[in-house]
Amino acid sequence: MFLISCVKHYNLDILGLAETHLTGDKVINVEGYQWFGLNRKHIHVRAKSGSGGVGILIRNGICNEFDVTIADNDTEGILWIKLENKTFANNVLYVCVVYLPPENSTRAVNVHEFFDNLMTKVYTVPQGNAFYMCGDWNSRCSDFTDSITGIDNLPDRHVVDFQCNSYGKVFCEFLTDDSCCILNGRNTILNDYTYVSTRGLSVVDYCVVPYEMLDIFNKFKVTRTSLIIEQICANGKFDLQKIIPDHSLLTWEITLKFSQSNKNAAPPKNNRKTKIKYDIKNLPEDWLSSESAVDDIDSIIQNLEISNVTQDKINNMRECISLTLSASLLLKFVEYRKILRGNRYPHVKA
């Protein structure tokens, strides 16, 4: 009931939820919304309730305008939803909800593998499509930079939590490699701590967006649970001892810049594009580890070294590789991008 009242009071179109604690095929039912969830699969047989889990509630009105499908749910704690406009072609929004278990917990995961899996999915989002990732990252990143100073033209981030943990640095490296940034503290109405309890105050919940689309995400606001209770629970309708969450509510507005080309219109003559798909299910583990494959990639790097390296050339090289050798090679190229973005090439933005 508390969740239902919260959704209706704040008039939310899309609500991402982390730590749903659902088991099996259970769902969250809210009138006027559709539920898309990923429950934790491996739970101790003696556990009294579920743990972890992520999900998204989407207003029926949005579902009427968009074809909503699960784009990816292969990794526990990461759920991608694709919203494709039913009328206008190539107008797509991707939404990802994340739950990364705390470090040193009994449910902790390999944080590097977690972010590598997330990075792989980010690179499958077609260029030009809007997306955001939100949830409980359990990463305290203090005032660590989430961009390359002097290259990525981003507004300063307002920081309220100046503490960090081991996840924080990995989190910011992930953002830098993916050309994404933290929305918290940018385009903000009210920035605040996202975790508030008797154990302390911290920022571990974030909205992450591609920095090139930062301008379409506005009115970011953190609302503490105490204020939510004051606004919707003042009548004493709920047992507050049982429902008070530790985490705050993060909200923002998105202005989607959709094209007006009709989805049902016939494509122009002689301008058809063929989409090539690659079967990579049976690739050997040592694929691209051979001396010849490494030499080929080194050749790409050398060509960039002796040329006038620009952002467009980096992007074109990435697209060329992904089209030629599929997304798997792209992961290897990411490692080379780190070199390009390092001290040897401080002027390059990959």
Q: What is the pLDDT of residues 81-136, one digit of tens each?
A: 999 999 887 799 999 999 999 988 878 899 999 999 999 999 999 988 999 999 99
Taking residues 188-215, what's their average pLDDT?
95
pTM: 0.74
pLDDT at 10 over 60: yes
Which residue, among 340, 261, 269, has the nearest Cα to 305 in the 3D structure?
340
**Look-up of token digits 């949005």:** 62
Crossing angle of the two packed helices 311-340 and 291-306, in degrees rounded to 10: 120
Q: Are 60 and 52 in contact (CB under 8 A)?
A: no
The rounded distance, in Å, linking the Cα atoms of 338 and 76 is: 27
Domain annotation for the chain: domains and CATH numbers: 2-254 (3.60.10.10), 274-350 (no CATH)
C-alpha distances (whole Å) from 281 to each of 72, 165, 287, 294 are 16, 36, 12, 21
The rounded distance, in Å, linking the Cα atoms of 68 and 114 is: 25
> What tokens were used for 114?
């977690």
Which residue, among 55, 67, 46, has the nearest Cα to 25 in the 3D structure?
55
How buried is 6 (Cβ within 10 angstroms: 0-12 exposed, 13-18 middle, 19+ buried)?
buried
Q: Which residue has the higher pLDDT, 19 or 293?
A: 19
pLDDT of residue 273: 43
Q: Which residue has the higher pLDDT, 198 or 75?
A: 75
The rounded distance, in Å, linking the Cα atoms of 167 and 140 is: 7
pLDDT of residue 7: 85
